[in-house]
């Protein structure tokens, strides 16, 4: 479903003309849809992809993919082992000399920012494409009429609910506020379904592990 159709569906649900709306402009409806799009991307794994990383001997800081928003999970493919996430603060607190520690493979990764990670311990030998990591992609706002958001049909339906809810929340009447809450409740329900779909659709899962466990 393209951007134009999404805006038209929202206006229709609001009882507005799709060609000459009175209460909200097409630009406002588009902004509401993009706001929901951003929220869904952050809260679900719909726009998740993977790539590989090559290790370099005695290096512990690595650049991530240019479209990376957040690393979700990481594996060391040579031995099929999880590389566990740990916060930069915890890593620094537990081992102030982490940059001096080396091993045959990394056990942890810490996000420095959305573009770089730190692998701990640093490896003693270089390996090509030995690490696979999954990440959430940076979302580009819908702008052109033909732009289509990622995800299944329920994703597009959720964007319509969000757009209607946000538009009605701008109204002052009690009736509009009540209707807005209904749309937002539907949005949250669909978002939960999308999160569950993304988690169970396949692939390996990430589990939380305490510092020091391997």
The number of distinct structural domains making up the chain is: 2
128 and 61 together in one domain = yes
73 and 126 together in one domain = yes
State which of 91, 107, 137 marks the end of a domain. 137
pLDDT tens-digit series, residues 86-117? 987 777 776 656 666 778 889 999 988 878 99
Looking at residue 207, its pLDDT comes to: 36
Q: Domain range holding 57?
A: 48-137
Q: DSSP label at 99?
A: G
40 and 62 together in one domain = no
**Cα gap 12→102, rounded to integer Å:** 61
Looking at residue 149, its pLDDT comes to: 87
| Cβ atoms 77, 130 nearer than 8 A | yes
Among 158, 162, 167, 156, which Cα is nearest to 26's?
Answer: 167
Average pLDDT of span 116-142: 90
41 and 61 together in one domain = no
Looking at residue 33, its pLDDT comes to: 96
Average pLDDT of span 154-170: 94
Q: What is the mean pLDDT of the chain?
A: 85
| Cβ atoms 62, 112 nearer than 8 A | no
Q: Which residues pair with 75 in a beta bridge?
A: 82, 132
Confidence of residue 162 (pLDDT cuts 50, 70, 90): very high
What is the reported pTM? Answer: 0.65
Looking at residue 152, its pLDDT comes to: 79
55 and 77 together in one domain = yes
Looking at residue 210, its pLDDT comes to: 43
- Whether the per-residue pLDDT at 214 is higher than 50: the answer is no
Q: Which residues pair with 136 in a beta bridge?
A: 48, 70
107 and 158 together in one domain = no
Average pLDDT of span 146-174: 91
How far out from the chain centre does Cα 175 lie?
34
33 and 111 together in one domain = no
**Cα gap 27→39, rounded to integer Å:** 19
Domain membership flag for residue 212: no
Confidence of residue 150 (pLDDT cuts 50, 70, 90): confident
Higher pLDDT, 193 or 65: 65
Max mean pLDDT range (5-9, 78-82, 99-103):
5-9
Looking at residue 113, its pLDDT comes to: 81
32 and 53 together in one domain = no
Average pLDDT of span 17-45: 89
Q: Which residues pair with 135 in a beta bridge?
A: 49, 71
117 and 170 together in one domain = no
Q: Which residues pair with 117 in a beta bridge?
A: 62, 111
Domain membership flag for residue 142: no
State which of 89, 111, 137 marks the end of a domain. 137
pLDDT-wise least confident of 12-21, 30-39, 183-192, 203-212: 203-212
For the residues of 171-209, what is the DSSP string, one character each? --SHHHHHHHHHHHHHHHHHHHHHHHHHHHSSSPPP---
Domain membership flag for residue 210: no
**Cα gap 32→141, rounded to integer Å:** 11
**Cα gap 115→67, rounded to integer Å:** 9
64 and 88 together in one domain = yes
Looking at residue 200, its pLDDT comes to: 41
132 and 53 together in one domain = yes
């Amino acid at each position: 479903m393209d951007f134009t159709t999404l805006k038209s569906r929202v206006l229709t649900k609001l009882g507005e003309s799709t060609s000459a709306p009175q209460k909200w402009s097409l630009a406002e409806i588009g902004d509401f849809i993009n706001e929901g799009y951003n929220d869904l991307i952050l809260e679900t794994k719909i726009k998740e992809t993977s790539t590989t990383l090559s290790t370099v001997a005695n290096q512990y800081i690595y650049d991530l993919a240019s479209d990376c928003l957040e690393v979700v999970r990481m594996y060391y493919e040579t031995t099929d082992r999880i590389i566990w996430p740990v916060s930069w603060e915890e890593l620094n607190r537990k081992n102030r000399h982490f940059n001096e520690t080396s091993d045959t493979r990394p056990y942890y990764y810490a996000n420095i920012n959305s573009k770089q990670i730190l692998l701990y311990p640093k490896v003693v030998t270089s390996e090509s494409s030995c690490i696979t990591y999954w990440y959430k992609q940076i979302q580009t706002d819908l702008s052109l009429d033909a732009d289509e958001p990622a995800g299944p049909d329920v994703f597009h339906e959720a964007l319509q609910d969000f757009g209607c809810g946000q538009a009605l929340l701008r109204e002052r009447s009690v009736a509009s506020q009540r209707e807005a809450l209904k749309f937002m409740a539907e949005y949250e329900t669909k978002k939960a379904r999308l999160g569950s779909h993304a988690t169970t659709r396949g692939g390996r899962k990430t589990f939380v592990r305490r510092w020091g466990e391997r």
